[in-house]
Amino acid sequence: MKQRALNQCMKVSGDPYGYLKEWKGNNNKKIISCFAMNIPEEIIHAAGLLPVIAWRSNESVSIGHSHVASFNCGLTRSFIDDVLKEKLNFLDGVVINRMCLQAQGIPFILEQNTKWANIIYMSLPALYGSDCIRDFFKSELDRLIIAMEKCSGNKITTGKIVNSIEIYNHNRKLLSDIYEIRRKNIGIISAREMLSIVHSSMIMPKEENNKLLLEVIEELNLKVAEGNHKSGIPVVIYGSLCQTPHPELLDLIENTGMVVVDDDIFIGSRYFVNSLDISDDPIESMANRYLSHIPPCPTKGDYKSNWSTYISDIMNKNKAKAVITLMIRYCPPHMCAYPDDQINFEKKGIPEIMLEVEHEIISLEQVRTRLQSFVETIGGI
Amino acid sequence: MLYFAGIDIGSLCTKSLILNEDDAIIGTSIKRSGAAYRGAGEDALNAALKDANLKSEDLNYIISTGYGRSRIPIADEQITEITCHARGSSFIFPEARAVIDIGGQDSKVIEINSKGRVLKFVMNDKCAAGTGRFLEVMAGSLDIDLEQMSELAKQSKKEVQISSMCTVFAESEVISLFAGGTEKAEIASGIYRAIARRVTGLASHIVSGKKVTMTGGVAKSKGMVWALSKKLKTELLVADDPQIIGALGAALIAKTKFNNL
């Protein structure tokens, strides 16, 4: 089966360091890391810079231990570890959203340990509802625009932002289309492959990624015609905020008799779920997207949304039989939200199992036992 | 006559059991697993066959379970130890609605229905603290065997707290208590109560108000059963040989699978 484009996605996702170093060498443009969720990338893009979403490193934390507590999440620990090991020297700066207590500590470590001229700390509001929150959000965007103009030397006009929104919306649409193909053809693509597709979008320039995704769609349509897709108990995975779950964990899920049909993870549908309105006031459009209650997020003080209801709606849409919670170890927002979600799943009779996602993989065989037992329980053995 | 086998390859011991079509246990064996699960599984099965006076070709269906379950090519199918302990427990104690299985490397608490099917389970799979391996290390620190440790614990007249549940740190704590003049009996009792505290934290929401059976090699330790019963405030149901319950469940499932072929 032809899968050049899918292989390219997996290559980029597997080695973002190599891809970005090469891209920078060929394009001589600045690269700005976005740490991690909800950074308005369109503004960075409109400045002629390449925004890339911060990723969890591909190796165990070593010297990072001296700067970040071992009870921090994998993303914060490994990002700082990468910085200290000088693996991220190709970056020209970082935009950090104050989304949790662990992220709040990152800028101070970066200021002391990098030569980056652009370390932008954003206080995107953790609440919804009032006009003053909306005004505050928009003022933060204005501050980002000024910072990115200074970083790039380019003026960010309304027209440039609208153009960036169109490119980003197209990317969201293409990712959404790929999810729709999976929904209609369960098992046509593995969870690992889907992860690499979304991850490639977070790393590559959107213009190039859009071309690649169109090719991925072509390949998938050919595969649909070929038939012979993986089967299993259809499940939805959710959680894994801010960072990649281990692909090995996704493989394990699909090798124990389940097949992932949809997700609500950050490097998944959470990244592209809402498009922006195209209007004369793009800042207002960004506010509309950010202040929407979809997808529900435990990093926000959102008392109107119910995450478990949102997940059960996704399950119904996909005729899924069970849900798998991917809990990032030491992610306090998700850890606080989980007990209520777990109770709600139980009340609704939804089989659910929680897997902890750690940066350093240990004991995969025990996880296999838990997953296989879960399948046996659902299957009535 | 039809015959079915269960092979339970645990991290410390491999157990095998032969069941006939009338659900009678006609052969069992328990061997150390060592580092080669495949060999251990085959050795245990051969020993159980010898015990049952049968040959391998007499077996109609074999199910492997336990940590090394996927390493047994002779098995027709592999099922997790959680499902197998549930089924085996229900066979021995039909009134049981919860199972506490403390094995060599991890511990599980399983809620079951009247048919021995799993409704819910929790598993401590992060480290070997509070498991069979932990008990072996602690007994080694006291320079006694596990049976002596059980007997000693009952003689304890004072409660000593063992606070650390990491095997490495707990060993240091035990040596420190020993050096400070604390009696072995008190330390042994403290070790059992420490494990009981840990298991209760894992188990309480599942076992509350239910008939509970304890399985796995650690259930052979009278000191552990005593401490856990006390902590859970319930009389634990323990089979004559709780270590073979996983293999029994595997053999029972083998029979069902064969009949459904």
Asked if B127 and B106 count as a contact pair (C-beta separation under 8 A), the reply is no
Question: CB distance A376–B83 less than 8 Å?
Answer: yes
Question: CB distance B121–A376 less than 8 Å?
Answer: no
Return the biggest CA–CA distance within chain B: 63
- Tens-digit pLDDT profile for residues B61-75: 999 999 899 989 999
Question: CB distance B82–A363 less than 8 Å?
Answer: no
Q: For domain B3-85+244-259, give its CATH number from 3.30.420.40, 3.90.1200.10, 1.10.3470.10, 3.40.1360.10.
A: 3.30.420.40
Interface check for B83 against chain A (CB to CB < 8 A): the answer is yes
ipTM: 0.89
Task: Indicate if B95-238 has the same CATH topology as B3-85+244-259.
Answer: yes
Question: CB distance A366–B123 less than 8 Å?
Answer: yes
pLDDT of residue B164: 67
* pTM value surpassing 0.95: no
Q: Which residue of B has its CA nearest to A371?
A: B80
Asked if B59 and B43 count as a contact pair (C-beta separation under 8 A), the reply is no
Per DSSP, the residues of A325-355 read EEEETT-HHHHHHHHHHHHHHHHTT--EEEE
Both tokens of A45, joined, read: 């893009």
Both tokens of B27, joined, read: 């052969």
Facing B80 at nearest CB: one of A362, A376, A380? A376
Chain B interface test: which of A367, A373, A375 (most B C-beta within 10 Å)? A373
Higher-confidence residue of A47 and A243: namely: A47
* Residues whose CB is less than 8 angstroms from the CB of residue A236 and which lie 6 or more positions away in sequence, other chains included: A260, A261, A262, A263, A264, A311, A314, A315, A318, A320, A322, A323, A324
Among residues B104, B97, B100, the alpha carbon closest in space to that of B122 is found at: B100
Asked if B41 and B7 count as a contact pair (C-beta separation under 8 A), the reply is yes
Mean of all residue pLDDT scores within chain B:
91
Asked if A197 and A235 count as a contact pair (C-beta separation under 8 A), the reply is no
Asked if A25 and A240 count as a contact pair (C-beta separation under 8 A), the reply is no
Identify the band that residue A107 occupies on the pLDDT scale cut at 50, 70 and 90: very high
Question: CB distance A376–B123 less than 8 Å?
Answer: no
- Tens-digit pLDDT profile for residues B135-171: 888 888 888 988 899 989 888 888 888 876 677 777 8
Among residues A138, A73, A77, the alpha carbon closest in space to that of A100 is found at: A73
User: In CATH, which superfamily holds the domain spanning B95-238?
Assistant: ATPase, nucleotide binding domain (3.30.420.40)
Quote the percentage of chain A above a pLDDT of 90.
85
pLDDT of residue A79: 96
Q: Which residue of A has its CA nearest to B110?
A: A373
Our CA angle for A128, A325, A189, nearest 5°, is: 105
* Distance of residue B155 Cα from the nearest chain A Cα, in angstroms: 37
As a whole number, mean pLDDT of residues B97-116 equals 92
As a whole number, mean pLDDT of residues A191-214 equals 98
The domains of chain B are located at 3-85+244-259, 95-238
Interface check for B125 against chain A (CB to CB < 8 A): the answer is yes
On the question of pLDDT at A114 being above 70, the answer is: yes
The residue written with tokens 């501050």 in the block is A143
Our CA angle for B171, B176, B182, nearest 5°, is: 110
Measured from the Cβ of residue A173, the count of other Cβ atoms closer than 10 Å reads: 14
- Tens-digit pLDDT profile for residues A315-337: 999 999 999 999 999 999 999 99
Interface check for B76 against chain A (CB to CB < 8 A): the answer is no
Identify the band that residue B59 occupies on the pLDDT scale cut at 50, 70 and 90: very high
Among residues A20, A168, A182, the alpha carbon closest in space to that of A89 is found at: A20
* Distance of residue B41 Cα from the nearest chain A Cα, in angstroms: 18
On the question of pLDDT at A213 being above 90, the answer is: yes
pLDDT of residue A1: 64
Measured from the Cβ of residue B1, the count of other Cβ atoms closer than 10 Å reads: 10
Interface check for B106 against chain A (CB to CB < 8 A): the answer is yes
Interface check for B118 against chain A (CB to CB < 8 A): the answer is yes
* CB proximity under 8 Å: B 144-203 to A: none
Quote the percentage of chain B above a pLDDT of 70.
97
Q: Which residues of A touch B81 (CB under 8 A)?
A: 369
Among residues B77, B37, B56, B54, the alpha carbon closest in space to that of B253 is found at: B77
* Residues whose CB is less than 8 angstroms from the CB of residue A196 and which lie 6 or more positions away in sequence, other chains included: A6, A9, A10, A12, A13, A14, A247
Annotate B234-248 with b (16+ C-beta within 10 A) or e (fewer). bebbbbebbbbbbbb
- Write out the E strands in B127-217: 212-215
Question: CB distance B125–A381 less than 8 Å?
Answer: no
pLDDT of residue A248: 93
